[in-house]
Amino acid sequence: MTAFREPFPILLVEDVAQASDFYSSTLGFEETYRNEDEHGVEFAFLALEPYGIGLGRRRDDGRDVALWIYADDVDTAAAELRAAGAEEVLAPTDQPWGERMCSFVAPSGHLVHVGMKP
């Protein structure tokens, strides 16, 4: 079994930059990571030690929250999630920001992203 660590929720919002500004200026979070695409800010990570949250651009799937969790081995984690009955949405794939990740829908209906740092 692969080891999991560093879980954090991802709040899915219409405007990531605006949400980041709100949480930073109002609640004291610090934006420590930002990923942009051709449509603007796609994802931001906000830290409020010892915790953090992600902000991601909302998709058309009706979800408002997702879980991100890191694993020692994404490919092994994906096999374990498949065996546990989770629905694979994204097979383990190397991402442009340098991490490898996969995505599943848990039996509860929540979106779960599993990442592996380089």
Amino acid letter at 87? E
Q: Which domains does the chain have, with CATH numbers?
A: 4-116 (3.10.180.10)
The residue count for the chain: 118
- Give residue 114's pLDDT band: very low, low, confident or very high (50, 70, 90): very high
Q: What is the pLDDT of residues 75-112, one digit of tens each?
A: 999 999 999 999 999 999 999 999 999 999 999 899 99
In this prediction, what percent of the chain has a pLDDT beyond 70? 100
Question: What Å distances lie between residue 93 and 16, 24, 99, 114, CA to CA?
Answer: 24, 31, 9, 11
